[in-house]
Structure 1
Amino acid sequence: MTTMTDTADDKQAQARLRVSRHACELFWDKGVAATTGDDIAAAAGLSTRTIWRYFRCKESCVEPVLARSASRFIALAERWPDDLSLAEHMADDMARNPLTEQEIADEIAALRIATLSTTEPALRSAYLMVHDEMERAFVPVVAKRLRLADDDLTARLCAAAVTAAFRVVDEDVGRRAIVEKEKITQQEALALVDRAIRDATNGRLGGPVTP
């Protein structure tokens, strides 16, 4: 049964996500330094006081959009079958479950923030916080894949390595596709993901596994 608290929490989560989308757009269009909490509040149709109730600082406003992208990846990874490499699974899963227009917009926004974060320390902090949560959520997926306990050091190290590799790929693809306007095909992007995972884990993770 859905409680009033659940409903309130969901409404707040949706409100935070709307704010986050506006903040990502403003940061990209105007720059982080030139964007104020008042600007974000005005774009979202909320009071500045409400913005500060939802977020600890203006840069942290990007976290819900980044978290949405991270959660989407974790959900995909949890569906990863033994007989496919991660790149193969991602291609197959994306074909079966194409992103909506809003999801595509969120992914583009996340890539833009990844790109901006390389030169914006405060934004980098928010970006890394979301990746830390993603790393923790990825540990059970890795452990299951490698037939290890969730608290096994190898599983944790592989999850950390893969998350860091994804961060590097996101920043590289973001710079090339968004800043340099280079056309990167899905096949090329997946090849980068495949290489990153295998290199980061010395081949332990990324490919098919024997049941």
Structure 2
Amino acid sequence: MSRHACALFWEHGVSGTSGDDIAAAAGLSTRTVWRYFRTKESCVEPVLAASLRRFLALAREWPAHLSLAEHMAAYTAAHPLTDEEVTDVRSALRIATLSLSEPALRTAYLMVHDEMEHGFIPVVAARLGLAEDDLTVRLSAAAVTAAFRVVDEDVGRRTIVEKEKVSQQEALALVDRAIRDATNGRLGGPVSS
């Protein structure tokens, strides 16, 4: 259902898509849509959450001797995305782009980033050697999540709207710079002994 919602919002806009449209595309009853989702816009959350889960799985394996961008490149090479995951990533970038002008879609988009922030706290705590409830850990997790959101929006706009080719290397360099800038250099790079 989530994939259908993403496609319909992209093709017809949020105002041009109803819960009935999403249900019909998914081959379900409208009642089923409302049983599982609080709004039609929240139907996109599962596709967005799939990217979140992949990132958190990657982050939990982040070795101390690598920057996050280096680890992301190595992890992606070792765990290539399936065709379905590539489609989901493209859909997530489209939703990131649409969310800039669609307030209700923005809410769903930000809900998933809130989950990412909470899921990233243990990674940051371990990386910094601090307790999970430490203010620096919580602020760093929030900053990293915001950095990823801004990079996703930028890359989404450039690739989806402007049809620009953004290489993985360039995208990872943006992530690396954004995280270092957002955390005043605390995160992103290797952990020094």
- For the superposition of Structure 1 and Structure 2, which TM-score range results when normalised by the shorter chain? over 0.9
Is 2:162 aligned against 1:180?
yes
Corresponding letter in the other structure for 1:20: S
Tell me the distance in 1 between the aligned counterparts of 2:3 and 2:176: 29
* Structure 1 segment 82-121 matched on structure 2, within 5 A: 82-121=64-103
Q: CA deviation at 1:210?
A: 2.9
Matches within 5 A, 1:84-163: 84-163=66-145
Q: How many residues are matched?
A: 193
1:49 to 31, 40, 45: 31
For the residues of structure 2 that align with 1:111 and 1:49, how far apart are their CA atoms? 28
Structure 1 consecutive aligned stretches of length 4 or more whose deviation exceeds 2 Å? none
Structure 2 distance, partners of 1:89, 1:209, is 13
Displacement after TM superposition at 1:20 (Å): 0.4
Residue 60 of structure 1 corresponds to 42
Alignment RMSD (CA, Å): 0.6
Q: Whole-Å Cα distance in 1 between the matches of residues 32 and 119 of structure 2?
A: 30
Same amino acid, percent of matched pairs: 77
CA distance in 2, matches of 1:77, 1:137: 10
Are 1:33 and 2:9 matched, yes or no? no
Which structure 2 residue ranges, 5 or more long, are not aligned?
Answer: none
- Paired residue for 1:74? 56
The offset of 1:56, in angstroms, is 0.8
Give unmatched runs, 5+ long, in structure 1: 1-18
TM-score for both structures, normalised by structure 1: 0.90
Equivalent-residue separation in structure 2 for 1:54 and 1:149 (angstroms): 35
